Amino acid sequence: METDKYSKAISNHPFKLTDKAVAEKTAGIIAEKFNENNNQKVYKKLYGCIDLTTLNTTDTKESVWKFTEQVNTFDGTNPEVDNVAAICVYPNFVEIVKEALTANVKIACVSGGFPSSQTFTEVKVAETALAIADGADEIDIVFNVGLFLEEYYEELCEEISEIKEACRNAPLKVILETGALKTAEKIHKASILSLYSGADFLKTSTGKGYPGATPEAVYVMCQAIKSYYFKTKRMIGIKVSGGVATVEDAVKYYTIVKDVLGEEWCNKNHFRIGASRLSDVLLSKI
Distance separating alpha carbons of residues 213 and 228, to the nearest angstrom: 21
Question: What's the burial of 169, exposed, middle or buried (CB within 10 Å: 0-12/13-18/19+)?
Answer: exposed
C-alpha dihedral sign at 205, 131, 89, 278: positive
Question: What's the burial of 93, exposed, middle or buried (CB within 10 Å: 0-12/13-18/19+)?
Answer: buried
Is 252 considered catalytic here? no
Is 140 considered catalytic here? yes
Distance separating alpha carbons of residues 156 and 213, to the nearest angstrom: 22
Choice among 203, 252, 258, 268 that is catalytic = 203
| Cβ atoms of residues 279 and 81 within 8 Å | no
Choice among 124, 173, 239, 268 that is catalytic = 239
Distance separating alpha carbons of residues 210 and 180, to the nearest angstrom: 6
Strands of 21-177, DSSP E: 50-53, 86-89, 106-111, 138-142, 172-175
3-state secondary structure of 1: coil
Choice among 51, 82, 137, 140 that is catalytic = 140
| Cβ atoms of residues 50 and 278 within 8 Å | yes
Question: What's the burial of 8, exposed, middle or buried (CB within 10 Å: 0-12/13-18/19+)?
Answer: exposed
DSSP element (H, E) containing 202:
strand 201-203
Which are the catalytic amino acids? Answer: 140, 203, 239
